[in-house]
Structure 1
Amino acid sequence: MSSSQSTKAAASNGSAPTGSATVVDVEQVEAALVEHYPRLVRLAYLVLPPGLGRNRRVLTAHALVQRALPRSRTTAPTVPDQRRPAGRGADPGYAYVRSQVLRAALDAGLPLLRRARPRRAQLPPLLPQVWGLRLFPHSGGADELALDQRLSALSGPARAACVLRGLERLTDDEARRILAAVGVDTEGEHAEEIDAALADAGAEAPPGGRNPAALLESPEFDPCSLQARPTDLMRRRQHLKALGIAAVAALVCGALLGMPGDGWGPDGAAAPPYAKNPAAEAALDPGRLTRAAPAAWKKTARTDFAVWPARGALVDDEGLLRRALAVWARPGKTVRVSATPGTVSGAPPGPAQLLFAGPVDAARVVLLYDGLRVVRYAEPLDGTSGAALDFARVDGAGAADAGAVVVGRADGNVRYLTAPWVRDTAVQDLLKPTAAPAALRRTADGVTDPFASPALARACDSWNTLRLRDQEGAARLATDLGELTPAHLTAGRPDAPREATPADWSRTACSLAAARSHGVRAVNAWSYSHQALPEGNGEAEWLCTRAETWRGGGGRALAQFLAPGARAAAVAAKSEGGPACGVRQPSVLAGVLWKSTAGTWYVLAAGSKDVTSVSVTDGDRSTGNTLAARTTKDTRPEVTGRLKNGDKVRTLR
């Protein structure tokens, strides 16, 4: 057997290679664990896969370290290191527990396989557990963020190599020996990546930044010094309510199964058409549907779906309502079900509220509301084959979000049911901002005439929006993005948005196509900078549009460049899932390659007003929030900026 084969065999048995192992007692390992607990937890946190999320990484890191104690005397690999303080470098107890923590952290990043028995580290830890709170380390600066992003792009073995080199101050050879001891093939498929990670860890820091090894010691990566925030309180309340209902259902089912006789009949334990528990029966009983009084919206401060009265010619059709509730609870295989991202499509927790029931085009439509979701049931006029069920999340909706709901789509057109406080409706094409809006008729029940929707249009020749004017005269614009609720359009700085006008969106309306079917609640357009172009080519405008979703996270932002005379803005940069261009992070920076009328190529960049300087990778730098530098067509310069407080800001990504 070769020496490398011997090393791998020893590693797989959980011990160090022959000749480099020391026998340690449990008490010795426990002493090392207690003394160096913060460092071991930091090491585990850095090696764990970033996809777990910061809260779970914190709890998992503590669990891995606490489970690292052996049950009896064992052996530990010895990695001599004269550079670190005495008491840890030559401590076999610390060497053992470090190897155990590394092995478990690497196992936690392995994918679960169907036929393979999961390893203990791949499962969520039973302890410690924290209920009702989310824990995460203190946030660092731009250098820490950049290092975290770099570590996130590495594989587990490469992260471990980088951490051993930077945090533990080990040499490359020592790090490779540790990785071999925990079962990583340092001569196989991970070798090149590990070598690259070790090289990066020892590289000099970028100008103005700190050494990556020193950054690993920062509070950004300290899972023992934590911040606490509450979990999603609304979702927690929903889960507790659902748990209570499930407990009642379990008690009722248990009592029924314990009764003498045939129980539920020939189907054995299969559920009957309607679940035998009070909450489920109430939810499926059309007679238990709640209905708001016709004038309820006038007598309360609420401006959401809870004060919409029941409207439509079929609100008393008990058969239709029963079918809608039954399909909601148990949609059959032929029912077309859709839900906006982040929306639960399960049965109602109790009696829902009826908003509408009536014929729309060639279908009978029912709109229901359960406090968290609006649900649309539609069936053909001549039967029930081809029924459809659509869900949309609307928790926390206000007057700006509860102004209209889609009741029908046909031949590229859309119809809305409007809120009772809407005084008049009109259609406004954003690509024709100077044109007068076209009046849109409504029935006595509040259903609009059909008009062309941009939701499924292939070409952006027009972008129709729904203009809603309330009783006080305030007008709002909403656009169909292919979901039950239209998205509310606003304009202005993220910290002070206002109702949008057609002129605010005339050059960026086509970018709304990127937000289709993403559960979007509102979209804001913001002109964050103007820039005089080189060679007297006029003035360009820089804009940022941000789409906020009903689920809170998952927002997307686009930075756009509008050249003089252009019909539409060009997308310069985009960000997915972060706070960019919003209230939490209003600073914006973006850059584009642009050719002047004389044929000269420039890199143009602009930031928001709080950006004091802009620079590119080739050394060009400008004072102020805009930059124009000569370049070539094939270059891809990186643009960065500095804020008033000295922090670095990068382009949207």
Structure 2
Amino acid sequence: MRTVDREHYAALLRLAYLVLDDGDAPLTRARRAAAQAARVRHGGYEARRSRLVAILLTDPPAGRPRTHRLFFEPARTSPGPVRAALLELSPHERLAYLLRRDGLTAPEVAAELGAHLRFRTGFRDVDRATAAVDDRTGLDEAAQRAEIEAFEPDLVRLRPPPAVPPAWRAAVAAVLAAALLAAGLALTRPGDVPGEPAAIDPRAWQATRTPTIGEWPAQGGLRHDAGLLRRAADAWRADLRHPPLGRVVVLYAGRVDDASLVVLRDSSGPRDAPSVAQYFERRLSRGVESVRRLGTGEGQVIMLGMTWRYLVPPWLRDVRAAMPSERSPDWRPVAVQDGLSDPLPWHWFTPRCQNYVAFRMTYRPDAGGRPRTVTQLVSHNPGSAAPQVSFSDPPEQKERFRWAALHAVACEAAASLSESGDLRLGHLWSGELPDGGGRAMLLTVDASSPRGAPGTSILISDGGRALSERGRTNSDTTSSTATMAAALWWRSPRRWHLVAAAGPNVTRLKATGELGSHEKAADRPGGATLLVVPGPREGATPPEKARLPVVQVVAYESDGDRTLVNPQ
């Protein structure tokens, strides 16, 4: 290996190890990732580093037995200030910081990460990660780089096992065998007895007013193939990373695009949403190809592998689909037979819309429940979330707002869809922005999971184009917009503005902090309240370097309650 290649490998190994530092077998994983990145033949260190970023962000850790910890104990060096600070960050935040210290600017880091992450990463996220290490270490940039460059992961060695007298070796072997047997027994979950998965009574969903995945019957032409179902259930039970919880139930079994496919769910209990696994048997391969935990236990459309087809429960009918990238909705019918939809055109899934399309269906339970329209955003990736969407509409032009909101969420990164729960999209305010900013709507976004996550807001145009980065709301659950308040920063051609708005049950808004005290009462009872406070002027400082003032917005409700909102 040439000297320059050795230097590149050492730098790549250092970067990979610092990202994986607190994971399982970090040195082994770092060596594997660095070796793969070092094989890039064209381009220098930058091209290899770009390949390493892709490996670290997209390649999941391979499942491996952890019995090596019974025999070896890693002898890890004491972390310096920078490594100690990195341990407090998530892996993608560590990577953002390390790329920043490796010479990239914040926008370059955001672009490098954004090509591989499922959620939006902006320059402010990079700056926050860098500032967190600065604050924890108290070191300047040069001192931080010196510690990083002095760290050599290959000096981290495994200690040899202690010497064991020959007389004890048989006893140690017996103890280890018993421990491994006990571990194997512990991994066998109650209800996971090898055999065929259970099947739901095909009439069960018709006997309830609100059917969920618990009443989803088995569908497909191979649902009576006992051998296929047994192989699929056994393969999922043997999965080391995502084994099923409780009883395994079949949702679908049939032939799809020259493969035998079985879709299974587990029974995780009332506190957790179930997981869904997809098992494929093809000519040269077989096995579980994806496992996804559902955001809720309600029945929803499920993507099947990379077939561009979807599994649909029997209580969702009149299925239509549309591309969120279009300026207006063009809902096209999607045929469904025995629970399986026709394939959608692959070109509908555009990267700038997070590879999602919009589904609209009619929810028609047979036990007297009221029919209603269901909207859902679905990916081509079976491992990604498929959130259902509900709306809190403006009094006028509801359909126009709904399509603009769907476009903003899917194509303008108003929400990160791949891991979100069900969404509630609300209209808080619409009108003219100052400084010739034009007409805008303030969209609020609440997700059902992760539980307790704060709500977000964003300014969008009438067509759904994002006019600001995401801001905050005073809601951490899906709720009515009547008491909702939101605050965010918006930049006109001349200056920054703090924009705050609130629903009809908020009587006044007050902004305090470095911009002074500003207050706005509701223009009329039952109407939305808008407060706009001029901020710093735009000058020679690029937007990514601008420091925005520290501000809090207080929302006073009609019943005397008040809440705080901090713009991001």
Question: What TM-score do you get using the length of structure 1 for normalisation?
Answer: 0.48
Alignment partners' CA distance in 1, 2:538 and 2:77: 52
Structure 1 pair 394/435, CA: closer, same or farther in 2 (3 Å)?
Answer: closer
Identity of matched residues, %? 19
1:588 paired to 2:488: no
Aligned mate of 1:521, from 418, 421, 424: 421
Equivalent residues of 1:403, 1:418 under 8 A apart: yes
Which of the residues 341, 344, 353 maps onto 1:448?
341
- Structure 1 partner of 2:71: none
Contact between 1:428 and 1:465, CA under 8 Å: does it hold in 2? yes
- Please say if residues 614 and 639 of structure 1, whose CA atoms lie closer than 8 Å, have aligned partners that are also in contact: no
Number of the residue aligned with 1:423: 317
Q: Which residue of 1 aligns with 2:352?
A: 459
Assess if the C-alpha contact under 8 Å between 2:349 and 2:356 holds in 1: no
TM-superposition CA deviations, 1:110-162 (whole Å, max 9, x none): xxx97799xxxxxxxxxxxxxxxxxxxxxxxxxxxxxxxxxxx999xx9xxxx
The one-letter code matched in structure 2 to 1:381 is R
Amino acid at match of 2:344: F
Q: 2-side partners of 1:382 and 1:465: how far apart?
A: 33
Equivalent position to 2:467, from 570, 573, 577 = 570
Q: 1:627 aligned to 2:532? A: yes
- Specify the alignment match of 2:306 in structure 1: 409
Check if 1:356 corresponds to 2:252.
yes
SS in 2 for 1:409: coil
Q: What is the CA distance between 1:298 and its match in structure 2?
A: 1.1
- SS of corresponding position for 1:570: coil
Which residue in the other structure is 2:550 paired with?
Answer: 638
Distance 1:307 1:490 in 2: 23
Residues of 1 paired with 2:138 and 2:354: CA distance? 51
Note the 1:472-621 alignment, pairs <5 A. Answer: 473-481=371-379, 482=381, 483=383, 486-492=386-392, 501-512=402-413, 514-518=415-419, 520-534=420-434, 538-549=438-449, 552-553=451-452, 555=453, 557-563=455-461, 568-574=465-471, 579-580=475-476, 582-583=478-479, 587-595=484-492, 600-609=494-503, 610=506, 612-615=508-511, 617-619=514-516, 621=518
Tell me, in whole angstroms, the C-alpha distance in 2 between the residues paired with 1:584 and 1:538: 27
Residue of structure 2 equivalent to 1:305: 213
What CA distance in whole angstroms lies between the structure 2 residues aligned with 1:513 and 1:360? 35
Aligned equivalent of 1:388? 289
Corresponding residue of 1:379: 280
Q: Do 2:235 and 2:287's aligned partners in 1 also have CA atoms closer than 8 Å?
A: no
- For 1:24-77, what per-residue CA distance to the aligned partner results, in whole angstroms no more than 9, with x for missing partners? xxxxxxxxxxxxxxxxxxxxxxxxxxxxxxxxxxxxxxxxxxxxxxxxxxxxxx
Quote the offset at 1:525 in angstroms.
1.3
> Judging changes above 3 Å, is the alpha-carbon distance between structure 1 residues 116 and 433 closer, same or farther for their aligned structure 2 residues?
closer
* C-alpha distance in structure 1 between counterparts of 2:515 and 2:207, whole Å: 64
Of the three residues 219, 224, 243, the one matched with 1:346 is: 243
The residue identity in structure 2 corresponding to 1:361 is: D
Shift, 1:607, TM fit: 2.2
**Cα gap change, 1:537/1:299 in structure 2, threshold over 3 Å: closer, same or farther?**
closer
- 2:527 is aligned to none
CA distances 1:258-294 after superposition (whole Å, capped 9, x unpaired): xxxxxx9xx887659x9699976863211xx322222
CA distance in 2, matches of 1:448, 1:579: 37
Secondary structure, counterpart of 1:465 in structure 2? strand
SS of 2:411 mapped into structure 1: helix
* Partners of 1:503 and 1:307 in 2: CA distance: 34
CA contact (8 A) 2:508 2:555 kept: yes
Structure 1 residue aligned with 2:27: none
**1:163-178, aligned counterparts within 5 Å?**
none
How far the C-alpha of 1:324 sits from its partner, in A, is 1.3
Query: How many angstroms apart in 1 are the aligned matches of 2:289 and 2:330?
Result: 36
After TM superposition, give the deviation of residue 312 of structure 1 in Å: 1.1
What amino acid sits opposite 2:293 in the alignment? A
C-alpha distance in 2 between matches for 1:394 and 1:601: 40
Measured after TM superposition, the shift of residue 622 of structure 1 is: 3.9
Give the number of aligned pairs: 369
Post-superposition offset of 1:427: 0.6
Q: What's the CA shift string for 1:468-506, capped at 9, x where partnerless? A: 213354221111244366210111189xxx999435434
- CA separation of 1:295 and 1:608: change in aligned 2, threshold 3 A: same
Report if the CA contact (8 A) 1:531-1:606 is conserved.
Answer: no
- SS in structure 1 opposite 2:202? coil
Aligned partners of 1:283 and 1:348 also within 8 Å: no
Residue 277 and residue 429 in structure 1: after superposition, are their counterparts in 2 closer, same or farther (change >3 A)? closer
CA contact (8 A) 1:454 1:480 kept: no
Q: Within 1, Cα distance between the matches of 2:245 and 2:234?
A: 10
For residues 186 and 520 of structure 2, the distance between their equivalents in structure 1, rounded to whole angstroms, comes to 72
Alpha-carbon spacing, 1:296–1:567, altered in 2? closer, same or farther (3 Å): closer
Output the CA distance in 2 between the equivalents of 1:313 and 1:357: 6
Choose from 178, 203, 212 the match for 1:295.
Answer: 203
Q: 1:461 to 1:304 in 2, by over 3 A?
A: closer
- Correspondence for 1:468 among 335, 345, 361: 361
Distance in 1 (CA, whole Å) between partners of 2:378 and 2:335 is: 18
**1:377 Cα deviation after fit:** 2.8
Give how far 1:430 is off: 3.3
Change (3 A) 1:529 1:282: closer
Over 3 Å counting, the alpha-carbon distance change for 1:365 and 1:461 in structure 2 is closer
SS, match of residue 480 in structure 1: strand
Contact 2:278 2:305 in 1 (8 A): no
Query: 2:510·2:555 contact (CA, 8 Å) conserved in 1?
Result: no
Q: Is 1:651 equivalent to 2:566 in the alignment?
A: yes
Q: Distance in 2 between the 1:447 and 1:362 partners?
A: 15
In structure 2, give the amino acid aligned to 1:468: M
How far apart, in 1, do the equivalents of 2:244 and 2:239 lie?
9
Partner of 1:319: 227
5+ residue gaps, structure 2? 1-73, 79-130, 141-173, 269-273, 365-369, 522-529, 540-545
Counterpart position of 2:265: 369
CA 1:581–1:542 in structure 2 vs 1: closer, same or farther (change >3 Å)? farther
Rounded Cα–Cα distance in structure 2 between residues aligned with 1:643 and 1:268: 62
Q: Which amino acid aligns with 2:198?
A: T
Classify 1:582/1:611 alpha carbon distance in 2 versus 1 (closer, same or farther; 3 Å): farther
Quote the RMSD (CA, aligned, Å): 4.4
Greater Rg, structure 1 or structure 2?
A: 1
CA deviations 1:596-642 (Å, max 9, x no partner) are xxx54351412213262343623362423311426411562333322
**For the residues of structure 2 that align with 1:440 and 1:328, how far apart are their CA atoms?**
30
Structure 1, unmatched stretches of 5+, are 1-112, 118-152, 159-188, 193-263, 338-344
Find the counterpart in structure 1 of residue 193 from structure 2.
283
Change (3 A) 1:325 1:509: closer
Against the structure 1 CA distance between its residues 281 and 628, is the aligned structure 2 distance closer, same or farther, given a 3 Å change threshold? closer
Provide closer, same or farther for how the CA distance between residues 581 and 652 of structure 1 changes in structure 2, counting only shifts above 3 A. farther
Contact 1:421 1:470 in 2 (8 A): yes
Q: What is the CA distance between 1:299 and its match in structure 2?
A: 1.7
Alpha-carbon distance change, 438 to 330 in structure 1, aligned in 2, over 3 angstroms: same
Q: 1: CA distance between counterparts of 2:533 and 2:185?
A: 68
